[in-house]
Amino acid sequence: MAEYALCLGRAFQIIDDVLDYTGSKDNIGKNLGTDLREGKMTMPLIYALRHCSEEDAKIIRTAVSSNDPDLESVTRVILASGAIDACIEAAKKEVSQGIDALNCLPTSAFKNSLIELLSLTVERDR
């Protein structure tokens, strides 16, 4: 169950990080780019830094250290790098591992609910 919980938490956080760049303020209930404004290096930023040009990496580094980052430019770099798709795939991998961790449980409505909860983490838009 501990492994399931870790996978659930990681999948949830990865998607939360993705939504900070791709969500809508109305759906997620907070301003987009909040993590960036706080200087947090989230998975989309880390992936983009590893897969973008030096010029684009400079845009990210400058934004992370800025009090007023250029969210539009950073989002452009993140999208162009493939970071969003990579993060979604990483979250789906966590879901798969979490489901595997439940193999020790007998089939039941409770187990199905745990699987559904885990699956919803990557399908959410808020």
Find out whether 60 and 20 touch, Cβ atoms under 8 Å: no
- Spatial distance between the Cα atoms of 7 and 3, rounded to a whole number of angstroms: 6
| d(C-alpha 56, C-alpha 36), whole Å | 15
* Contact indicator for 70, 59 with CB cutoff of 8 Å: yes
The CATH code of domain 2-123 reads 1.10.600.10
- The answer to whether the Cα torsion of 99, 102, 107, 110 is positive or negative is negative
| pLDDT in the model for residue 29 | 67
Query: What's the burial of 123, exposed, middle or buried (CB within 10 Å: 0-12/13-18/19+)?
Result: exposed
10-residue block means of pLDDT along the chain (126 residues)? 98 96 77 91 97 97 92 96 98 98 97 96 86
- H-state helical runs in the chain: 2-22, 25-28, 34-37, 43-50, 54-64, 71-81, 83-101, 109-123
Tokens at 53, concatenated:
């040009």
| Domains in the chain: boundaries | 2-123
Res 126: pLDDT: 72
